Amino acid sequence: MTTTQDHRYSEAAIEADPTVPAVHIWRDFAATPAQLMRAHTDPELFARWIGPSSLTTRIDHWDCRTLGSYRYVAERDGEEYAFRGTFPHVGEDKLVQTFTWEGMPDAIALETMTFEDLGDGITRLHGFSLCDSFEARDGMLASGMEVGIHEGYAKLDRLLADGVA
């Protein structure tokens, strides 16, 4: 599960950690670390790219600072999916948040995202989602999350290319 700077992740690589109940996500972007941090911390920008293309996102609460919190709702055809959490740490190239789908309020993941400058205008996102059990982790992986990750990052690529992010 080691990565190298030589390998490029034009699509997200999603892997279950074999030793702890966690998921790793790697993805490279044509962007600076500051651009990716803004895409993850600016509520208007975040709502434009997060999740599958079939969903629209509404921000209900967003206080993205160390010890802040958030809640957003994704909607499709009258069905709503709410997510909430806290921001234990917001740094220049690292974001730590808790993440909960309100449909399973006891399943709280601790997520760390780092943004590594690889040079040549490329930044690597590494997401690490630590779940409270292997069952919760496997449920997360079985939820179809990869569709939201792949489609969401494709939307983010377009926003970056258009100079929006």
Cα–Cα distance measured from residue 64 to residue 20, given in angstroms and rounded to the nearest whole number: 28
Give the N- to C-terminal CA distance of the chain in Å, as an integer.
Answer: 30
Could you tell me the two tokens for 138? 């496997």
pLDDT score for 21: 98
pTM for the complete prediction? 0.92
Per-domain boundaries in the chain = 14-161
**Strand partners of residue 58:** 73
Query: Which CATH architecture is the domain 14-161 placed in?
Result: 2-Layer Sandwich (3.30)
CA-nearest of 122, 146, 131, 161 to 25 is 146
**pLDDT tens sequence across 70-104:** 999 999 999 999 999 999 999 999 999 999 999 98
Share of the chain above pLDDT 70, in %: 97
Q: Does the pLDDT value for residue 6 go beyond 80? A: no
- Scanning 50-144, the segments in alpha helix (DSSP H) are 134-142
Orientation angle between helical segments 145-161 and 33-41, nearest 10 degrees:
120
- Map tokens 């489609």 to a residue: 151
- Scanning the chain, the segments in alpha helix (DSSP H) are 33-41, 43-49, 134-142, 145-161
What average pLDDT does range 53-71 have in this prediction?
Answer: 98
Could you tell me the two tokens for 54? 């079939």
**pLDDT tens sequence across 125-145:** 999 999 999 999 999 999 889
* Residue bearing the bigger pLDDT, 21 or 5: 21
